[in-house]
């Protein structure tokens, strides 16, 4: 019996031995069985080797959230153009509670989604730039090209901080790739430090960037682009003389000029105009934007998000260069006759503009009109600028580049800086700046001759509003001029729908203009945005701006 | 050992030699076949014996040394000291024994390798006994094992339930046993014909349950395992297994969030939600031992399901089973007559609850009120509202019920399953084919499923058994989708969300044939179009098991499992002319092809040994698993017209292609040791080591041990005399499990995404790359430790079964994707940083009895789960992910509401709100401040708190079944409590982002009726920007507890005498209703399991007529 058990145990041992051996053999034979790498992503070990890799990473830094539903990228149409909803230029069809509209309605709160998205997307780009700058040193490539790439990336990063400093004031200044711990405990850097960082970065970038790129690289950042953003920041900082010098240096580059065309600057046919200093690059279908879907009028199958306010429409001069209050050419019964041609190229006017061969009708009584007040347009006006009438492709994926900085802005900014800096005003100065802008062939307004700086300043600010309408500049202008609390307080109206309040069931002003909304810009609060609540939830070191 | 001495109390009335046989039988049963008396080994074995004047004992020893024969005898019955002389060469055992026992009153029986020697007191002439075995309903039972007590001699019933057997003695006792039925001993008492009825095992402790790598009697389990049998599933006309399982197992919570055909499975959570990582919260599912999904199996093919809840029972699956384990065994054939069963049903579905929206006139009035509340102009004049009301101008003033138009499908469904089974003693088969056609509530929405399964068991030789399972399921899911280039998405729910949003004041279709729309949403046009997303999904599952019984008790098993999955998706979004100026298009077509393959190789060694009162079982094994996935997608648009929808019909100009792949692999070694002393003290130890490709080489391997024990008190003397207590067992277990299932994501490697990072220079597309994630080289296994105390009782003549479990489960090193400040700019990788506790109790109670022809049974179960986050990295809360230390997972975090502001005075005197409050807005409570006390200021940093969780705290279920003669009736009540749900976006508040309003919104706050407790605040035109009245608060996160009449069923089995002429053994007809009624206090019109922003599909109630037929 004993022996029998022994036999069995031995047998068991053999089996176990065999099994163990089998397992070991198998494990050995397949020692790399558990080594698996991603099949569709590059790994650090294989990346950052040559110029091609650097180029890919560079494109990654530029890459912009063009998508239909992505908001909060400073250089996408939803990020840039929709800031107009917070101004006296336009009203968001989605109402006074809409994300952008709230920025100045008096109801902005720290959970506003668009504020969070601007924050998030800015830091996403900054992280890509920081990563690029940390890794590019390893790459074996042409040193000049490398230097230019570094300058481009520093430009992109500086621009993010430019915007952030303008809207939040103090923001965490991050210049390297952070660890999770660092990111979750970061503190806000005083605005002054952010500003000096941006200025020095842009100065360095401008030194290294080329004046222009060969056609196959069109769209990459140039010296002019870096200087333009530098000028913007100097203006915001009221360093007027510096700003004027910066802008002068752009003019002296000699590569930009005012395009005789105006309408085409904002659509595909004029996207490479010498007036464009920097633009977001788009390609139909492959890298398109939904700008046309969002803004086309309903009658053309769009969503008519941008509803122009009467305030802007009324600001366009008559062809004699006088305001509608002053000009004899203005006829209240035919308010759109004899006006600054840019009005027709920027705004859809009721019963006046035609779009794709159709008359734009918005009167509330015109039941069958696709764009009627108040069910569709909330003001009676629509957007004409950027609306490429000839386009017949997918409205969700339009390929016309989106201008970020135009030469006309540079000229007007230069003039403004010169005035504010107290430098002498001459007719020559006016002729090489503002009169170039308003005198271009397609606009052809009479030249400005006002040499008194105090009187000239409002003229320049007016020209700026009209020339750059809907381009996302107005909101920033109102903030930096410190006039948002007066401009954005009170009622806003749209198109005229009746002769007097008695003639219509709708609320209108004394002259029958449709009531749109009331804004209550809070002077002590709304000049700065709230730090997103989701960020404070994670990192209590981030203090909140006053009033939120 | 030879002296299988007395003392085993429960065996004293048996011939002692049976002791070992009983245990062997258990093992045999567990392999699903019964060893029949066979002479195979004895016939082949040749022995040399040369002994002179040796004792019988020496002869026996000599034989045992030379062969695998074992002898059984009793010392007091035979004289082992009797001297014999034998000289045999190359002789069969029979010759040797005949000679050795010549001249004694001893006889012997050879059963395989076992030789029994006993006094020859049976008459030599056998008696022929015949009979038939049936179940309680009178259906013949084929394959029942019959053994003459005290021997291993026996037979099996044939296909018609009859048997014939030679018994040696007229007073012999026959033992009838059959899996799933109670074993019955029948004394012959001289009879030669016997009709025996076997009782199905109530959910009792005697039943055999499938456990990891084997089976075990429930009585011998040391872990916490629940069993669901085919009986509980078979007659339930459900399309998804999870629906039939809902409520059946205490501690298993199933939440169904959608009723869409093919997507209507519930999410299964066992013992709470163990983790907040992406490593998965779902239990592991094994079909016949191979990891699979519930989609890989047709509910009709299931023989039984075991749910392994604690670490001890799941431990042998170590890394994969942290969230529990569901083991599914499919039906196999039984020897005997060819048998055909048919199960079929047909019925219809409707939503359990359906939101009701305001008609256009009411909508317009309420909309005007909202505009007025916002200080804006009214949009609709009285005149216009009158037109909405009278319907005189349906083109311009319609009253459209959008949801009605979208949910206008028939909801008809039907299922047919055939099973063919049978076989010989050595080969059995079971073949089933099934068909399901489930039409949705939306036109052109259906799920057609074809299933096929073949299970083969083959006893190749005495030692070698081959088991093969092969199944194929093809599902075809079809649904309408939005039109081409609409930007609305490519799924049915994208239509629904637009139907939920678009107001009734927009016409579905005008008399000119133009479709009404809101932004990109054209719900009716999409429904009327010929759009589709069509998925043909093929699930294949095959495995081969080869069992080699090397010697008694020692078995080696090799398993090969292969599971390919193919998903062919064809999406066609046609061009849709919306009106004269708006066309959605051009048409788009996508083809998507996904193929993944899972391959596993396993080797197991089982050793079973009984020494006296000690019983050991040892299992050792090795497995390796590998998984690869590849997919490609092709795209074109600009198809010439809507009648063509293949890729080549599209334009080459804008064509695109995508594709990628992923893979992972695992290796594991494991062992299990079971020890059982005197059948009453049970011990089990498991260890498993797992290696995963998802971790860096240094952190790859994890070791997961477990230990468990049980004590069957009723085997002890002191409890033996209590009549009403049949079984009383206490279980204890502890174990560790791992989790690593973080997708095909490789957080330890630093990677650059190259997809979708393009930019453009000079008008050409420039490929880009970006580091989007922050790698973490240090991550390793997430582990779950579970302790369990359990109690099993069987009472009142086994009519009442009671089970109780207390468990304590802590998951640590959770693979947590920490919410990071977006200042980081990158998505962080998972870290091992988090700890979650689940503890709770589970109770189940089962009672079955009958009074004459009236049968009744009730089953109740209840579970309570306390779920708590113990640690999240080093922070207190992660609001974005709903994680709060000290609170349950999936929590809602927000303000506590205190009704609505009734007037301006109320606003002025109440604590200052975090927004510009108006009368009619929600009052948020001031619960704290910077100093820890209310500060008169409601602030997001101090006044938000955890409101509740989406995970139910309590789940309970009750089944009641009644039967009278051929009539049966059952009802299942199922419920959850301590849970919250929330409707967001278009589904919740009125006028959200241009959305519409529901009937219950009329009970809002108004100036005229400033009700503090109105269920909806003042109406406003709400944006999606974060509206004060939509802040997360307990105003919106509502109680989602419910009690459902989950199923009601009435059935009638036709009497035998009507059927016998037709060759039918059984015919039962039934009517069944699922999700009949729900009691809840959730949002009116919404099922409490729905949490949505409008992207949803209602949960359905099903009413069916069905038929079970057995030939």
Counting residues of chain B whose pLDDT is more than 90, the rounded percentage is 34
* Average pLDDT rounded to a whole number, residues A226-251: 97
Following CA atoms A104, A108, A112, A114 in sequence, which dihedral angle do they give, to the nearest 10 degrees? 10
- Weakest mean pLDDT among A464-468, B29-33, B758-762, B875-879: B29-33
Q: Which chain B positions have a beta carbon within 8 Å of A102's beta carbon?
A: 1023, 1025
d(CA B142, CA B333): 10
Is the model's pLDDT at B885 over the cut of 60?
yes
CB A374 within 8 A of CB B379: yes
Tell whether B763 is within 8 A of chain A (Cβ).
Answer: yes
B881 and A CB contact within 8 Å: no
**Whether residue B482 has pLDDT greater than 90:** yes
| Mutation for testing the B interface, residue in A60, A293, A506 having most B CBs under 10 Å | A60
Contact between B316 and B1071 under an 8 Å Cβ cutoff? The reply is: no
Lowest model confidence (mean pLDDT) among A283-292, A523-532, B589-598, B873-882:
B873-882
Q: Are strands B284-287 and B325-330 parallel, antiparallel or unpaired?
A: parallel
Least CB–CB distance from B769: residue in A42, A178, A281: A42
Cβ burial of A16 (10 Å; 0-12, 13-18, 19+) is: middle
Look at residue B3 and tell me whether its pLDDT is greater than 60.
no
A248 vs A414, A462, A463, CA distance in Å?
Answer: 7, 21, 19
Taking an 8 Å cut-off on Cβ atoms, the answer to whether B825 and A174 are in contact is yes
- What number is the average pLDDT over the span A29-41? 71
A290, A398 Cβ separation under 8 angstroms = yes
Is B518 near chain A, with CB under 8 Å? no
Q: Do B654 and A178 touch (CB under 8 A)?
A: no
Phi, psi of B149 (to 5 degrees): -60, 135
**pLDDT value for B180:** 65
B860: exposed, middle or buried (Cβ count in 10 Å: 0-12, 13-18, 19+)? middle
**Contact yes or no for B993 and A94 at CB 8 A:** yes
Q: Are the C-beta atoms of B749 and A38 separated by less than 8 Å?
A: yes
Q: Which residues of B touch A217 (CB under 8 A)?
A: 761-762
Q: What is the mean pLDDT of residues A532-544?
A: 91
Burial degree of B529 (CB within 10 A; 0-12, 13-18, 19+): buried
- The minimum CA-CA distance between B983 and chain A, rounded to whole Å, is 19
pLDDT of res. A338: 95
Mean pLDDT of B1048-1063: 83
Closest-CA residue to A458 (of A444, A469, A448): A448
Report, as an integer, the average pLDDT of B350-359.
93
Q: Chain B within 8 Å of A299 (Cβ-Cβ)?
A: yes
Cα(B124)–Cα(B6) distance, integer angstroms: 28
d(CA B1060, CA B1095): 54
| CB–CB contact A41 B822 (8 Å) | no
- pLDDT at residue B757 greater than cutoff 70: yes
- Give the number of other CB atoms < 10 A from CB of residue B993: 21
Using only the alpha carbons of chain A, give its radius of gyration.
29
In order of A198, A476, A526, B682, B1061, the CA distances from A164 in angstroms are: 11, 12, 15, 68, 88
Least confident of B284-298, B922-936, B1040-1054: B284-298
B673-698 average pLDDT score: 85
Q: Provide mean pLDDT across the span B829-843.
A: 88
Tell me what pLDDT residue A150 has: 97
Cα A273 to its chain centre, rounded Å, is 19
* Closest to B313 in 3D by CA, of B781, B787, B679: B787
Residue B81 is predicted with a pLDDT of: 78
Question: For residues B16 and B4, is the Cβ–Cβ distance under 8 A?
Answer: yes
> Hey, which of A279-288, A418-427, B870-879 has the most confident mean pLDDT?
A418-427
Crossing angle for the helix pair B93-101 and B56-66, to the nearest 10 degrees:
170
Q: What is the mean pLDDT of residues B686-697?
A: 85
Closest Cα in chain A, distance from residue B634 (Å):
15
Q: How much is the ipTM here? A: 0.88
What pLDDT is stored for residue B206 in this prediction?
A: 58
pLDDT at B139 exceeding the cut of 80: no
CB-nearest partner of A216 from B376, B759, B761: B761
Other CB atoms within 10 Å distance of the CB of residue A55? 18
| Residue A359: count of CB within 10 angstroms of its CB | 12
**Does the pLDDT value for residue B463 go beyond 70?**
yes
Calculate the alpha carbon distances from A22 to A14, A92, B502, B623, B832 in Å: 12, 71, 66, 12, 34
- pLDDT tens, residue by residue, A463-495: 999 999 999 999 999 999 999 999 999 999 999
* Selection from B426, B421, B423 nearest residue B465 by Cα: B426
Instruction: Place B509 in a pLDDT band, splitting at 50, 70 and 90.
Output: very high
* Most confident range, picked from A301-310, B223-232, B731-740: A301-310
Question: A interface mutation test: which of B823, B826, B832 has the most A CBs within 10 A?
Answer: B823
Identify the band that residue A157 occupies on the pLDDT scale cut at 50, 70 and 90. Answer: very high
* C-beta neighbour count of B689 within 10 angstroms: 17
Give the residue, B1061 or A145, on which the prediction is more confident.
A145
Check: pTM over 0.90? Answer yes or no. no
- Pairing state between β B225-229 and B114-119: unpaired
More confident residue, B322 or A288: A288
Tokens at A259, concatenated: 């395009």
Looking at chain A, the whole-number percentage of residues with pLDDT higher than 70 is 93
Percent of chain B's residues with pLDDT above 70: 93
Cross-strand bridge partners of residue B551: B554
> What is the Cα–Cα distance from A310 to A326, expressed in whole angstroms?
17
Give, rounded to a whole angstrom, the gap between the first and last alpha carbons of chain A. Answer: 88
pLDDT in tens, B961-982: 898 888 889 899 999 999 999 9
Residues of B in contact with A33 (CB under 8 A): 624, 626, 665, 667, 693
pLDDT mean over B762-788: 85
pLDDT attached to residue B691 = 87
Specify the DSSP element, H or E, that contains A428.
helix A427-432
| Per-residue pLDDT tens over the stretch B623-674 | 898 999 999 999 999 898 888 999 999 988 888 898 888 888 888 899 989 8
- Give me the DSSP letters along A82-120: GGGGGSSSEEETT-TTSTTGGGGTS---TT-HHHHHHHH
The conformation of residue B987, written as its DSSP 8-state character, comes to H
- Cβ atoms B233, B244 nearer than 8 A: yes
**Residue B152 banded pLDDT, cuts 50, 70, 90:** low
**Separation between Cα atoms, residue A87 and residue A100, nearest integer Å:** 9
Nearest CA among B543, B549, B550 for reference residue B456: B543
Judge whether A220 and A150 are in contact, CB under 8 Å: no
**Given this model, what pLDDT does residue B494 score?**
94
Nearest-neighbour CA in chain B from A376: distance (Å): 10
Say if A215 is an interface residue toward chain B (CB within 8 Å).
Answer: yes
Give the residue, B932 or A196, on which the prediction is more confident. A196
Shortest distance, CA B475 to any CA of chain A (angstroms) = 29
Taking residues A83-95, report their average pLDDT: 94
Q: How many whole angstroms separate alpha carbon B563 and alpha carbon B510?
A: 51
Query: Which stretch of A524-538, B464-478, B708-722, B743-757 has the lowest confidence by average pLDDT?
Result: B743-757
Is A9 in the B-facing interface, judged by CB distances under 8 Å?
Answer: no
Mean pLDDT is highest, among B54-63, B130-139, B723-732, B914-923, for B914-923
What residue of B is the nearest CA neighbor of A214? B762
Residues on chain A touching B774 (C-beta within 8 angstroms) = 177, 179-180
**Closest Cα in chain A, distance from residue B158 (Å):** 38
- Average pLDDT of the residues in B889-909: 93
Chain B hits for A533, CB-CB cut-off 8 Å, are: 940
Task: Report the pLDDT averaged over residues B997-1014.
Answer: 94
Q: What is the mean pLDDT of chain B?
A: 84
């Amino acid at each position: 019996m004993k022996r029998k058990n022994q036999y069995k145990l031995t047998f068991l041992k053999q089996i176990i031995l065999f099994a163990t051996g089998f397992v070991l053999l198998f494990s050995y034979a397949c020692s790399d069985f558990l080594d698996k790498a991603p099949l569709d992503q590059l790994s650090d070990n294989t990346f950052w080797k040559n110029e091609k890799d650097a180029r890919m990473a560079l494109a990654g830094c530029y890459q912009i959230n063009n998508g239909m539903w992505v908001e909060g990228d400073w250089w996408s149409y939803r990020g840039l153009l929709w800031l107009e909803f917070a101004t006296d230029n336009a009203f968001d069809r989605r109402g006074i509670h809409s994300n952008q509209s709230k920025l100045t309605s008096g109801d902005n709160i720290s959970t506003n989604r668009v504020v969070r998205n601007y924050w998030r997307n800015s830091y996403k780009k900054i992280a890509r730039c920081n990563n690029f700058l940390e890794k590019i040193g390893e790459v074996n490539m042409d040193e000049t090209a490398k230097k230019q790439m570094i300058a481009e990336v520093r430009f992109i990063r500086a621009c993010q901080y430019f915007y952030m400093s303008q809207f939040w004031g103090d923001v965490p200044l991050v210049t390297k790739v952070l660890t999770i711990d660092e990111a979750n405990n970061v503190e806000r850097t005083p605005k002054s430090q952010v500003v000096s960082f941006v200025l020095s970065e842009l100065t360095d970038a401008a030194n290294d960037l080329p004046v222009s790129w060969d056609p196959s690289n069109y769209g990459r950042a140039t010296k002019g682009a870096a200087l333009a953003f530098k000028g913007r920041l100097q203006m915001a900082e009221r360093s007027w003389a510096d700003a004027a010098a910066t802008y002068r240096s752009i003019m002296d580059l000699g590569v930009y000029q005012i395009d005789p065309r105006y309408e085409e600057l904002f659509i595909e046919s004029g996207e490479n105009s010498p007036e464009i200093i920097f633009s977001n690059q788009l390609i139909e279908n492959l890298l398109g934007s939904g700008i046309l879907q969002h803004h086309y009028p309903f009658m053309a199958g769009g969503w008519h998000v941008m509803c122009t306010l009467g305030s802007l429409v009324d600001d366009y001069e008559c062809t004699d260069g006088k305001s509608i209050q002053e000009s004899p050419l203005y006829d209240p019964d035919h308010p759109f006759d004899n006006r600054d041609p840019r009005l027709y190229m920027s705004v859809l006017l009721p019963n006046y503009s035609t779009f794709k061969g159709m008359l734009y009708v918005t009167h509330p009584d015109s039941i069958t009109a696709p764009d009627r007040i108040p069910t569709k347009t909330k003001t009676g006006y629509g957007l004409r600028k950027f609306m490429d009438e000839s386009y017949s492709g997918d409205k969700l994926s339009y390929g016309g580049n989106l201008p970020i900085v135009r030469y006309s802005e540079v000229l007007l900014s230069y003039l403004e800086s010169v005035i504010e800096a107290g430098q002498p005003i001459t007719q020559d100065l006016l002729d090489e700046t503002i009169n170039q802008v308003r005198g271009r062939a397609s606009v052809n307004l009479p030249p400005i001759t006002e040499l008194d700086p105090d009187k000239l300043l409002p003229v320049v600010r007016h020209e700026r509003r009209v020339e750059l309408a809907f381009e996302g500049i107005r909101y920033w202008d109102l903030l930096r001029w410190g006039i948002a609390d007066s401009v954005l307080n009170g009622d806003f109206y749209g198109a005229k729908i009746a002769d007097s309040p008695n003639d219509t069931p709708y609320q209108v002003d004394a002259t029958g203009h449709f009531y749109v909304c009331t804004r209550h810009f809070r002077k002590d609060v709304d000049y700065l945005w709230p730090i997103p609540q989701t960020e404070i939830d994670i990192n209590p070191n981030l203090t909140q701006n006053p009033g939120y | 050992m030879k002296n299988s001495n007395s003392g085993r109390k429960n065996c004293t009335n048996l011939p002692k030699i049976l002791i070992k046989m009983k245990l062997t039988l258990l093992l045999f049963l567990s392999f699903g076949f019964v060893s029949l008396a066979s002479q195979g080994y004895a016939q082949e074995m040749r022995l040399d014996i040369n002994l002179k004047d040796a004792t019988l004992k020496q002869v026996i020893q000599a034989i045992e040394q030379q062969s695998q024969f074992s002898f059984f005898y009793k010392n007091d019955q035979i004289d082992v000291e009797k001297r014999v002389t034998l000289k045999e060469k190359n002789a069969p055992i029979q010759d040797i024994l005949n000679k050795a026992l010549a001249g004694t009153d001893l006889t012997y029986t050879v059963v395989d390798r076992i030789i029994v020697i006993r006094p020859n007191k049976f008459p030599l002439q056998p008696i022929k006994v015949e009979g038939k075995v049936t179940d309680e309903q009178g259906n013949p039972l084929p394959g029942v094992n019959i053994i003459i007590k005290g021997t291993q001699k026996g037979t099996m019933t044939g296909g018609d339930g009859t048997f014939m057997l030679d018994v040696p003695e007229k007073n012999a006792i026959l033992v009838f046993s059959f899996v799933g039925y109670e074993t019955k001993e029948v004394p012959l008492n001289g009879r030669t014909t016997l009709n025996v009825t076997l009782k199905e095992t109530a959910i009792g402790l005697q039943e055999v349950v499938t456990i990891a790598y084997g089976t075990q009697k429930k009585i011998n389990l040391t872990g916490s395992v629940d069993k669901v049998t085919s009986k509980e599933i078979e007659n339930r006309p459900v399309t998804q297994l999870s629906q039939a399982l809902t409520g059946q197992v205490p501690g298993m919570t199933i939440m169904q969030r959608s009723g869409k055909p093919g997507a209507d499975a519930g999410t299964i959570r066992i013992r709470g939600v163990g983790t907040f990582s992406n490593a998965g919260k779902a239990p592991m599912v094994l079909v016949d031992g191979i990891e699979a999904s519930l989609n890989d199996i047709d509910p009709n093919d299931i023989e039984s399901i075991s749910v392994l809840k604690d670490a001890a029972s799941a431990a042998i699956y170590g890394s994969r089973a942290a969230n529990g384990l569901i083991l599914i065994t499919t039906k196999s054939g039984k020897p005997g007559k060819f048998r055909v069963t048919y199960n079929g049903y047909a019925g219809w579905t409707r939503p359990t609850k359906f939101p009701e929206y305001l008609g256009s006139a009411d909508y317009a009035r309420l909309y005007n009120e909202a505009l007025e509340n916002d200080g804006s102009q009214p949009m609709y004049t009285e005149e216009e509202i009158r037109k909405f009301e009278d319907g005189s101008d349906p083109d311009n003033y319609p009253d459209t019920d959008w949801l009605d138009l979208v949910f206008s499908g028939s909801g008809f469904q039907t299922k047919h399953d055939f099973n063919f089974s049978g076989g010989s003693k050595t080969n059995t088969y079971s073949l089933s084919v099934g068909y399901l056609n489930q039409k949705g509530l939306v036109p052109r929405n259906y799920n057609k499923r074809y299933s096929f399964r073949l299970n083969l068991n083959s006893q190749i030789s005495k030692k070698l058994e081959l088991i093969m399972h092969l199944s194929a399921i093809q599902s075809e899911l079809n649904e309408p989708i939005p039109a081409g280039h609409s930007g609305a998405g490519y799924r049915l729910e994208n239509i629904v969300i637009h139907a939920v949003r678009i107001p009734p004041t927009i016409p579905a279709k005008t008399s000119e044939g133009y479709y009404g729309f809101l932004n990109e949403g054209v719900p009716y046009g999409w429904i009327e179009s010929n759009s589709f997303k069509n998925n043909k999904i093929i699930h294949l599952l095959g495995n081969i098991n080869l069992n080699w019984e090397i010697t008694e008790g020692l078995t080696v098993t090799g398993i090969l499992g292969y599971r390919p999955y193919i998903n062919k998706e064809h999406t066609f979004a046609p061009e849709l002319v919306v009106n004269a100026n708006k066309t959605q298009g051009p048409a788009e077509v996508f083809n998507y092809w996904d193929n993944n393959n899972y391959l596993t190789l396993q080797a197991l060694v089982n050793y079973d040994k009984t020494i006296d009162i000690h019983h050991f079982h040892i299992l050792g094994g090795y497995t390796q698993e590998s998984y690869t996935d590849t997919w490609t997608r092709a795209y074109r648009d600009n198809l010439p017209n809507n009648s063509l929808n293949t890729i080549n019909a599209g334009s080459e100009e804008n064509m695109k292609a995508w594709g990628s792949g992923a893979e992972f692999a695992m290796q594991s070694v494991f062992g299990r040791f079971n020890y059982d002393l005197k059948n009453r003290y049970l011990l089990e130890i498991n260890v498993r080591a797992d290696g995963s490709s998802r971790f860096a080489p240094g952190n790859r391997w994890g070791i997961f041990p477990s230990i468990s024990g049980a004590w069957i008190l009723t085997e002890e003397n002191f409890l033996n005399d209590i009549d009403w207590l049949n079984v009383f067992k206490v279980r204890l277990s502890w174990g560790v499990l791992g989790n690593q299932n973080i997708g095909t994501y490789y957080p330890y490697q630093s990677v650059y995404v190259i997809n979708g990072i393009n930019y453009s220079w000079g008008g050409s597309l420039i490929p880009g790359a970006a580091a989007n994630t922050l790698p973490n080289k240090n991550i390793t296994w997430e582990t779950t430790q579970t302790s369990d105390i359990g109690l099993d009782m069987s009472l009142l003549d086994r009519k009442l079964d009671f089970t109780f479990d207390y468990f304590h489960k802590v998951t640590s090193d959770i693979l947590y994707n920490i919410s990071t400040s977006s200042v980081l700019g990158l998505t962080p990788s998972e870290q091992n940083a988090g700890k979650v506790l689940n503890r709770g109790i589970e109770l189940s109670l089962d009672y079955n009895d009958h009074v004459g022809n009236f049968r009744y049974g009730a089953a109740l179960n209840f579970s309570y789960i306390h779920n708590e986050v113990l640690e999240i990295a080093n922070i207190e809360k992660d609001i974005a992910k709903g994680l709060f230390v000290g609170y349950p997972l999936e929590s809602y975090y927000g303000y506590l509401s205190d009704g609505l502001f009734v007037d301006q005075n109320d606003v002025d005197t109440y604590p200052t709100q975090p927004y510009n409050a108006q009368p009619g807005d929600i009052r948020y409570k001031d619960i704290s401040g910077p100093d820890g006390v209310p500060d008169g200021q409601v602030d997001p940093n101090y006044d938000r708190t955890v409101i509740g969780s989406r995970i139910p705290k309590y789940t309970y279920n009750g089944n009641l079944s009644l039967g009278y003669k051929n009539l049966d009736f059952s009802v299942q009540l199922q419920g959850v409590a301590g849970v919250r749900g929330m409707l967001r976006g278009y589904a919740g508040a009125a006028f959200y982002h241009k959305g519409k309003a529901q009937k219950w919104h009329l009970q809002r706050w108004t100036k005229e009726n400033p009700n503090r407790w109105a269920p909806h605040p003042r109406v406003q035109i709400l944006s999606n920007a974060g509206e004060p009245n939509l802040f997360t608060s307990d105003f919106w996160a509502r109680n989602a507890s419910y009690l459902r009449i989950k199923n009601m069923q009435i059935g009638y089995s036709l009497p035998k005498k009507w059927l016998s002429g037709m060759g039918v053994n059984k015919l039962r007809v039934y009517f069944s209703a699922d999700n009949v009624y729900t009691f809840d206090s959730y949002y009116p019109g919404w099922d409490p399991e729905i949490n949505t922003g409008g992207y949803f599909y209602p949960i359905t109630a099903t009413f069916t007529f069905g038929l079970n037929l057995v030939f």
